[in-house]
Chain A
Amino acid sequence: MVEVLVLAEHRKGELRDITFEMLTGARKICDKIGADLTVALLGFNVKEFAKELADYAKQVLIVEDERIKEFNSEAYQKILAKIIGERKPLLVMIGHTAIGMDLAPSLATSLNIPLTTDCIGLDFKDGKLYAIRQIYSGKVNAEITFKDAETYMVTIRSGAFQPEKPEPPMGGGIINIPSPLTDEDFAVKKFVEYVEEAKGEIDISAADIVVSVGRGIKDAKNIPLVEEFAKAVGGVLACSRPIVDKGWLPKDRQVGISGKTVKPKLYIAVGISGAFQHLAGIKGSGVIIAVNKDPKAPIFRVADYGIVDDLFKVIPVLKDKILELKGK
């Protein structure tokens, strides 16, 4: 039977959203090509997860080993190489995440499987696999095809598929696979510990109004311009990643996949292009307003209102107008 294999992702006792997103995307493909959906779950004491996953797949393969309580690419690679080698699935789906980026390229290479990464769409047409990915700052999409192979591998961008629970639940069977790991598999790479980012005074994720500044601000000395605007609208100041990378604002102000998720009533993005890693952090926002001089900036694909102009010209005027209205 043709099989699509999804790698379940979990961390610190929770299955990650990407798992359910991939399973939903995979299910559509399985329906289309008549394939079985299998999910691989690697970890320790994860039987509860297996039960949850059984609702989403025909089979849950579970490999438990105390030494993979936390993700380790070397150990995961050994287990998955064995599973893929034996089962020869048509398609393997892994998250384009901190886990997938550390695992998929070496796993695919070791098995000589064609891989493409960071996919936002997948389709099989006439037996051929097509993957869609976004390139050049999200301004163009690329369609990728593969050399004929027994197995293909893709990594999937977070948020590319909306998770949906199958109705009725699929009631998949749970198959325990003995761990093939030995201590040797941990001889060159070891997990040590997690470190949590330090908490700052302001919690941007709890704010009703968030004004975010991006690389368009050009220089640290211009940040007060946006900060004052944020104050005028009664919001907190947040930012995109490059602002934190440059040390212009602390990490707890960063919105996005590797920073904070915000859910304000109003989100104003100033000089931010709208990379998916940023957009992942503002999905739950009410009204989104973007100020950007480039009308083609991807941020305008998610914004409700757009202002196409030089932020240095328009932000001071916006600030004064709002202060004037508030004064009345």
Chain B
Amino acid sequence: MQSLHETENVFIKNGVMVVEKMDIIVCVKHVPDTAEAEVTIDPSGRDIKKEGLPFDINEWDNYAIEEALLLKEKHGGKVTVITVGPEEYNETLRKCLAKGADEAIRLYDESFKGSDGYTTAKILYSAIKNMKFDLILTGAMAGDDGYAQVGVTLAEMLGIPHASLVKKVEVKDGWVKVNRELEGGLEEVAEVKLPAVLAIQTGINEPRYVSIAGIRRAAKKEIKVLGLAELGLSKEEVGELGSPTRLERLFIPEVTKKVEFLTGDPSEVASKLANVLKEKGVL
């Protein structure tokens, strides 16, 4: 055993030498769940009212953190979660720490407000460019604004390759073999050289739940917060000022097709439905 040293990319697990220890960064977002909620536009006309909405880790990111933890369990290494957002976002970072992430970083300044997908990637870039990593995982998109843009933009800024809509990850010899989801049930297998950014698609794994022990462990961990100056950014480069696109206004979409609601108690509704089905000749 004496001859085996733990070097950067070699470590020992159960007496077996395992290569390719991986340092993984996972970009996560804290988002409101609006699937079942009443959505109303706030007085600014440029955002929705967020009070009372349930917030959680973005669905896609939940699969991304799981994939990072699975890779760490297999290859060894460290998982760092990073987010751009105000203090409430700590909740999502803590959840990731509780699941098994090693470190958490939150990037925030008031001037970040109004940042578009490009600028969010730029803020992440300004922190990540100084970090050591082998792989970066992001969600393929965020459930709130749905840009599906940050991961691939970040890769370009870092000058490293990427793959989006990733449904399978296998690391080997400095490369990662991925399955990318295409349309209509088709997938493509591709090989990407590390370091790389992978934007993860839902269904790639089964995200674990948070354990009580995990929550306790996470509560003790420090969340590092970096602001504008620490990131070497200026106010002009971030937020609305620094963003190439701007959300001008929100509006509730017009309804073009008129649905006929079947109303009443369940048995009345059932009779009405039965009539419709008979009329249409489907029953």
Contact yes or no, A109 B156, CB < 8 A: yes
| Contact among B161, B256, B273 for A318, CB-based, below 8 A | B273
Give the interface segment out of A41-49, A114-122, A161-169, A170-178. A114-122
Q: Main SS of the interface on chain A?
A: mixed
A141-B161 Cα distance, complex, nearest whole Å:
32
Contact yes or no, B179 A142, CB < 8 A: no
- A215-244 contacts to B, CB under 8 A, are 215, 233-234, 241-242, 244
Contact A289 B273, CB 8 Å, known A101-B165, A192-B189, A304-B260: yes
Residues of A within 8 A of B149 (CB): 104-105, 115, 117
A307-B183 Cα distance, complex, nearest whole Å:
31
- A186-201 contacts to B, CB under 8 A, are 187-197
Residues of B within 8 A of A106 (CB): 152-153, 155-156, 162
Contact yes or no, B147 A117, CB < 8 A: yes
- B249-267 contacts to A, CB under 8 A, are 249-253, 255-257, 259-263, 266-267
Assess whether B145 is interfacial by the CB under 8 Å rule.
Answer: yes
Give the interface segment out of B32-40, B98-106, B129-137, B229-237. B32-40
Known pairs A196-B186, A290-B259, A325-B283. 17 more at Cβ < 8 A?
A102-B152, A102-B165, A109-B157, A136-B145, A140-B41, A141-B251, A143-B249, A187-B193, A188-B161, A190-B191, A191-B188, A194-B188, A254-B185, A257-B184, A305-B276, A314-B269, A322-B274
Q: Which residues of B line the A interface, CB within 8 A?
A: 32, 34-36, 38-39, 41, 48, 116-118, 121, 140, 143-153, 155-157, 160-165, 177, 179-193, 196, 199, 202-203, 206, 243-253, 255-257, 259-263, 266-267, 269-271, 273-274, 276-278, 280, 282-283
Q: Which residues of A line the B interface, CB within 8 A?
A: 11, 16, 70-71, 73-74, 96-98, 101-106, 108-110, 113-118, 130, 133-147, 149, 187-197, 208-209, 215, 233-234, 241-242, 244-247, 251-252, 254, 257-261, 265-266, 273, 286-287, 289-290, 293-296, 300-309, 313-314, 317-318, 320-322, 325-326
Name 19 A/B residue pairs within 8 A (Cβ), A-sorted.
A73-B162, A101-B148, A105-B118, A105-B153, A115-B245, A116-B117, A135-B250, A140-B250, A144-B245, A144-B247, A208-B282, A209-B282, A241-B203, A265-B280, A287-B276, A296-B39, A305-B262, A318-B269, A321-B267
